[in-house]
Structure 1
């Protein structure tokens, strides 16, 4: 019988690639999101794996809406979170940059949010930290109900949290702080499952259209990274900390599945490790 994998945020930018990788690896995959809808794609390869996933709607802040799904689950992935406390920035990333580059940068979050938040959950504390802690605790409660606490069983279960490599210039410190606080809380539950903490940097999709905003940002960051590596030869530590390599959603997904399959692994997976797995 195939192992059961639950991906919260499975129809998102990274989540859908985790689902794809898991289907390819033979997992029984369930995607949980607020809408419960499958991601839209015109690509034949995507349509094939999308049909293999169970797309389900639930509210991560309301465990009663999904705790039944966790019964018998071997692995749970939390692939939710926000870069900015502005619920419009993700919509902006799906648009094409305008000629007014300053306005465009502000719109994707390189500056203060001029809009009043309409979603009370749309904060670093709630989306990046509490949603993960609530999910991990719910998973723990289901494990306790099953009564399978022997070490061999614990090693068969994992909880993966998508954290972050570092903060970003012009992004509030609350972003990375909320990620690190969530990591600490999840690590406390290692007697129930293996915590897998992924720390990717800026992510891009290998199959995305080159005219999309993420692709422009990806290209700019890669140029900076190459310049620091070949021109400055990584001699300035503050530049090394500031300019980090980008990573594809496919690389992150592959790394997650690799660590998930290893019953002896738990802990942090750094950006460098993700890039070389």
Structure 2
């Protein structure tokens, strides 16, 4: 009986202690004084570095399409670099001062690969005309070299400015289109989740040839308005592909930069109608 009373008193004292601890205070068994609540020291403030900025490398950034892509990327706050055979652009526009210009040839040595250091995305505007063998090299081999090097460097996204299928023109410019398609195949293989292929037709805008400006939009803009509503005619044999509507260089630049930096942009091939659609969505 005595042992049960002792155990019950011990249990009550434990309950009182537990009740006191819930209020953050502890009752002293030797006096009626209430102890001070426990002091909690402030946690140390840790400075978290900002997320790394996107760095874009434009292959052929001093050309007609490439220069518009560089400017569009700068307007979106990206760090922009360009790689081309001639290096720095001849443009005197103020935005060109904010581009890091690299000189290199994608067909020759590997020295140009240093331009990929720290790059998170690449847009290639490399292409050209000439003999069939030359066109295959510049449109195919050069871009394939760039795609493989970017993949090895861990680049996240790669956008390739290809060309629409013009049917009969494919046979007349065999090396051009075979090179383009070879580069497309390589891109979809190396970048299955971050590779985007844009296939515009005729790209219009103001071209600079030396000091002269050629306003291609005078012809291109009206044609785009007319032919963008003639999509069913595009399926006609032989002549159908020739009715592919032109697209403005600003639209191509906007979609290319978004495709290179937006992780949810769908990978794969985007035809001229897709370029128009994405561009219109971004302009709203």
State the TM-score, normalized to the length of structure 2: 0.68
Q: Within 2, Cα distance between the matches of 1:162 and 1:228?
A: 20
Query: Aligned in 2, Cα 1:225/1:178: closer, same or farther, shift over 3 Å?
Result: farther
Query: Relative contact order: is structure 1 or structure 2 higher (C-alpha 8 Å, sep ≥ 6)?
Result: 1
Contact 1:198 1:256 in 2 (8 A): yes
Query: Aligned in 2, Cα 1:229/1:269: closer, same or farther, shift over 3 Å?
Result: closer
Residue aligning to 2:56: 5
Q: Within 2, Cα distance between the matches of 1:229 and 1:52?
A: 39
Instruction: Name stretches of at least 5 consecutive residues in structure 1 with no aligned partner.
Output: 42-46, 87-116, 144-153
Q: How do residues 69-218 of structure 1 correspond to structure 2 at under 5 angstroms?
A: 69-82=115-128, 84-85=129-130, 123-143=134-154, 157-167=156-166, 171-190=172-191, 194-205=194-205, 215=216
Shifted more, 233-242 versus 220-229: the winner is 220-229
Contact 1:222 1:245 in 2 (8 A): no
Q: Within 2, Cα distance between the matches of 1:38 and 1:136?
A: 23
CA positional deviation for 1:223 = 4.7
Q: Within 1, Cα distance between the matches of 2:220 and 2:254?
A: 25
Q: Alignment RMSD, CA only?
A: 3.2
Residue aligning to 2:3: none
Residue aligning to 2:255: 255
Contact 2:157 2:261 in 1 (8 A): no
Residue aligning to 1:219: 219
Contact 2:140 2:178 in 1 (8 A): no
**Does 1:18 find its partner at 2:34?**
no
Instruction: Name stretches of at least 5 consecutive residues in structure 2 with no aligned partner.
Output: 1-51, 279-284
Instruction: Give the structure with higher Rg (CA).
Output: 2
Q: Within 2, Cα distance between the matches of 1:228 and 1:247?
A: 9
Residue aligning to 2:110: 64
Q: Within 2, Cα distance between the matches of 1:235 and 1:38?
A: 37
Q: Within 1, Cα distance between the matches of 2:248 and 2:269?
A: 18
**Does 1:30 find its partner at 2:81?**
yes
CA positional deviation for 1:233 = 8.3
The SS at the match of 2:153 is: helix
Q: How many residues align?
A: 221
Query: Aligned in 2, Cα 1:199/1:2: closer, same or farther, shift over 3 Å?
Result: same
